[in-house]
A and B are shown apart, each in its own frame.
Chain A
């Protein structure tokens, strides 16, 4: 394997604006990176394992002739997030958009988690994103910085499963709403929230699910099209999940409490 590309502020600046992808090494993040690179967009890729990042960045640079820099970051701990933010400050002034296709969940998430695991789920799914956005808004000179958050249908109504994960994702929805309200009044950012339905991942592998599972490539294409063609807002991908989640929320408690899913 080739040497990891080093993080270089000079290189990123030289190439002009950059798209930040936090959680880029697999799944939706990787597909977003590939499709942005295909559109000749430069990238700053963030993930917890430099080996995956290095392979992805090298591949995109060779195939699409774009700039692709990497930042290894452990976003599951406070120290890791702080370190990441320090590293990020060197890059953020040139950002065109920031994508947060992060998702960290555990199968034991039915009130059986340790305190450390709960911290990690909140840190990856919510706190790291809020802190990152705050840094970006403070240092970015881009007056129309696009921010793309990725929620989950799990947050639409709490249930006995993915308890902490859904709480964190619900928090993300609230954060998005606040940003949207703020940007309506003050501008500066263009926030998008994509509530993702079932999507092929290590979590859905082999599970018998009620609804079709989306291909991350298709989801990435939808996300990029929405950002290009629609004003900021909340979107469900695929779209039918909006109706499903609305129905789920509208169910009387006497019915909902009996559902097992």
Chain B
């Protein structure tokens, strides 16, 4: 089955290459594609990973966009089985009107369920819901050398463990059975002000148990502001009635997002001055919400960037860097001091600073653990690159876990310092698939 040679780009703009992509729309096509024993493959979901996790120069990509069907739904137990190419938006359009929601979802509805499993993503309240793996009951995987395999927590547990957060390197997950959580029509949103970033761990700790969504926003336009900002808390309003609205209308509207189109024809518009104005405006709008409870649509609060995709376009064609890492709460103050000192000295442009609270443990290369998940965005400029080098160095020094799908500049040495199970993952992967049929730019860069 012929593929198409096309240009691909990681969402952050950090890596691009030409490679062949296959778009199977039938099970037979899928098996035919993988029947070529001389090729290695990458699995492409929505293609919105910040790094090139779904493609690479030395592998053919396989898109599962046509494998997006619902295979079973238990409306009483809140369990659904879907094909891996289903987008979170399509899933939400089906489940929310029926009173159910996937508890862990990243920020944009175009992202696929398969992509969420591969990266074992986190949502808006890791401390309460854990990662995506916690929502997975079972999955069905195809490996060209091993055939079709079902894995869950009883059967093929090691494969289950290797695949959830295995970055698509263990085989093609075709369908996933998910646990859903009771949804609501509206979310009660509250905003809490932070005089500086040093207050963050305490506020997040206090609010996490009584929140369904919880994250922060920080102003790093000047180090003097000490990363002041807001904590955004969402609590699901109890359902008054659970009615099935199969005509969702504009409730589920969102702006599409595609890596290859992001920032087309635009230069980077973010500068320190521009960010100062933006943050001033955003800060004022947030201040007005302090001590007020507002009610928001569940879809919009689940996918906060669904209608704010312009934020990514304004980085221009060159793109941006993101560093996201987990800092243990007791070291967060020292970490913040170091970051603020760097900002004070070098004044790089930081377009976004945000954090969430994480709880729990994780093995292999799953981005999970205990502490504050802290992330910053900066444009792909020289000063941005230096900021990322500084943060990478700090992370290595403090042995912090970095989110592998967010940072295109990571090397295997950097990852090893934060992930004690790095070698264990690599060994398990090679034991499972000695021919390593699945690869990507990310897996090659990290020597996985």
Enumerate chain A interface residues (CB-CB to B < 8 A).
1-2, 25-27, 30, 48-49, 51-52, 55-56, 58-59, 62-63, 202, 205-206
Known: A1-B71, A56-B69. A63 touches B175 (CB 8 A): no
Please report the C-alpha to C-alpha distance between residue A63 and residue B81 in the assembled complex, in whole angstroms.
Answer: 13
Scoring B residues 9 to 28 as 1 if CB is less than 8 Å from chain A, else 0, what string do you get?
A: 00000000000000101111
13 A-B pairs with CB atoms under 8 Å apart are A1-B81, A1-B175, A2-B71, A26-B26, A49-B28, A52-B28, A56-B69, A62-B70, A202-B1, A202-B2, A205-B4, A206-B4, A206-B5
Q: Please give, as numbers and ranges, the residues of chain A lying within 8 Å of B94 by CB-CB distance.
A: 63
- What residues of chain B lie closer than 8 Å to A202, measured between beta carbons? 1-2, 23, 25, 29
Q: Least Cβ distance of A93 to chain B in Å? A: 29
Q: How big is the B interface, by class?
A: 20 to 34
Q: How far is the CA of A202 from the CA of B22 in the complex (A)?
A: 9
Question: Are B1 and A51 within 8 A (Cβ)?
Answer: no
Distance between Cα atoms of A193 and B2 in the complex (Å) = 29
C-alpha gap A27/B25 in the complex (Å): 8
Cross-chain contact B69 with A58 (CB below 8 angstroms): yes
Residue of B nearest to A51 (CB): B27
| Complexed CA–CA distance, A220 and B29 (Å) | 22
Q: How far is the CB of B111 from chain A (nearest CB, A)?
A: 20
B3 within 8 A of A: yes
- Flag if B69 contacts A55 (CB, 8 Å): yes
Q: Given the complex, which residues of B lie within 8 Å of A49, measured CB to CB?
A: 26-28
| Cβ–Cβ < 8 Å partners of A55 in chain B | 67, 69, 71, 83
Other than the known A1-B81, A202-B23, what 9 A-B pairs have Cβ atoms closer than 8 Å?
A26-B26, A26-B66, A48-B28, A52-B26, A58-B69, A63-B94, A205-B2, A205-B23, A206-B6
B73 at the interface (CB under 8 A from A): yes
Contact A2 B4 (CB under 8 A): no
List the B side residues contacting A63 at CB < 8 Å. Answer: 70, 94
Which residues of chain B from 46 to 97 have any CB-CB distance to chain A below 8 Å in the complex? 66-67, 69-73, 81, 83, 94
Give chain B interface residues in 173-195, CB to chain A under 8 Å: 175
Task: Give the interface of B toward A (CB within 8 A).
Answer: 1-6, 23, 25-29, 66-67, 69-73, 81, 83, 94, 140, 175
Give the residue name and chain of the A residue nearest to B83 (CB). Answer: A55
Interfacial chain B residues near A52, Cβ < 8 Å: 26-28
Cβ contact within 8 Å between B72 and A58: yes
Select one of B3, B23, B25, B71 contacting A59, CB under 8 A.
B71
Across the A-B interface, the 10 shortest Cβ-Cβ residue pairs: A206-B4, A59-B69, A26-B25, A51-B27, A2-B72, A59-B70, A62-B70, A55-B69, A62-B73, A52-B26
Q: How near does chain A come to B195, taking the closest CB pair, in angstroms?
A: 49
- A58 and B74 alpha carbons, distance in the complex (Å): 13
A237 to B256, alpha carbons, bound, how many Å? Answer: 27
- Cβ of A58 and Cβ of B1 under 8 Å apart? no
CB pair B27 A206 closer than 8 Å: no
Q: Which residue of A lies closest to B5 (CB)?
A: A206
Bound-complex Cα distance A59 to B1 (A): 26
Cα of A202 to Cα of B94 in the assembled complex, Å: 29
B44 to chain A, nearest CB (A): 14
Task: Chain B residues near A30: list those with CB within 8 A.
Answer: 25
Residues of A within 8 A of B140 (CB): 1
State in angstroms the CA–CA spacing of A146 and B69 once bound together.
Answer: 28
- CB neighbours of A206 from chain B (8 A): 2-6
- Contact residues in A for B1 (Cβ distance below 8 Å): 202
Q: Which residues of B contact A205 (CB under 8 A)?
A: 2-4, 23
- The answer to whether B26 and A62 have CB atoms under 8 Å apart is no
In the assembled complex, the CB of B138 is this many whole angstroms from the nearest CB of chain A, namely 11
A57: nearest chain-B partner, CB-CB = B69
Contact check, B71 vs A58: say whether CB atoms are below 8 A apart. Answer: yes
A175 nearest CB across to chain B (Å)? 27
What CA separation (Å) do A49 and B26 show in the bound complex?
A: 8
Please measure, in the bound complex, the distance between the C-alpha atom of A39 and the C-alpha atom of B175, giving whole angstroms.
Answer: 27
**Docked complex Cα distance between A192 and B220 (Å):** 64
Q: Which residues of A contact B81 (CB under 8 A)?
A: 1-2
Residue ID in chain A nearest B20 by CB atoms: A206
Whole-angstrom distance between the Cβ of A60 and the nearest chain B Cβ: 9
Closest B-chain residue to A61, C-beta based? B70
Smallest Cβ-Cβ distance to A34: which chain B residue: B69
- Residue on B with the closest CB to A204? B4
In contact, A25 and B26 (Cβ under 8 angstroms): yes
